[in-house]
Amino acid sequence: MFHCKVLLCIAILSLISSSLGTVCSNPQIEAKTYTTQDGTVITNVAFVARFSLKCDNGARELPLYAEINGKTFPVVISGKEHYQVSWVEDVKTAKSGSHDVNLFDEEGYAQLRKAIRNNEDVSAVKPLSQIQVPHPGTYQGPWLNSEFLAVVLSLIVWYSAFSTKSKLLS
């Protein structure tokens, strides 16, 4: 029984050590992105980037980190070769256009944190890869509400009926 526990611990440690320090050479990324576009009933715009990562050296399930607009986020492994990163922004501050998602492995993320900590230029740290998340903008509703248009039209109908009645009675 003790022998099985020792072998299990050794197996777990070897898996952990093999996954740590694995470097992806020549990463190929295929990404699918999504952003919330209807801002009439929400307070935050959601950005989601789901991607697959293939490395020439066969590295899999690497721990990755994302840097977006100066903020860092963990990348979640979802499936064998799929990853996902998501974040939210306030509807008022979410800008339309392309949002760059810089992906870092553990070594690159350590360099990024060091550059941030030492107030150095973070653009000097080269990401593993980059994904662009396009956001066409958030729909805020029509320029004029339907209630406002109904009140204006009813006032126009009332005025025309009242003026016609006044002309007929005079």
3-7, 32-36, 49-53, 111-115: the lowest-pLDDT one = 3-7
Q: What is the DSSP letter of 139?
A: B
122 falls within a domain: yes
Domain of residue 71 covers 30-159
The pLDDT of residue 5 is 58
The number of domains in the chain is 1
For tokens 């898996």, name the residue.
15
167 falls within a domain: no
Residue type, 130: Q
88 falls within a domain: yes
SS3 36: coil
- Structure tokens of 164? 């016609």
44 falls within a domain: yes
* pLDDT interval class at 118 (50, 70, 90): very high
Residue type, 104: F
Q: Quote the Cα angle for 104-20-102, to 5°.
A: 5
- Rounded to two decimals, the pTM is 0.69
The pLDDT of residue 94 is 87
CATH of the domain at 126: 2.60.40
Region 79-92 average pLDDT = 89
Q: Quote the Cα angle for 71-76-78, to 5°.
A: 155
Rg for the chain, CA atoms, rounded: 28
17 falls within a domain: no
* pLDDT interval class at 85 (50, 70, 90): very high
95 falls within a domain: yes
112 falls within a domain: yes
- Burial of 31-42, coded b for 16+ CB within 10 Å and e otherwise, reads bebebbeebeee
166 falls within a domain: no
64-68, 93-97, 127-131, 142-146: the lowest-pLDDT one = 142-146
Q: 64 exposed, middle or buried (CB, 10 Å; 0-12, 13-18, 19+)? A: buried
The pLDDT of residue 23 is 82
Average pLDDT for the chain:
84
The pLDDT of residue 15 is 44
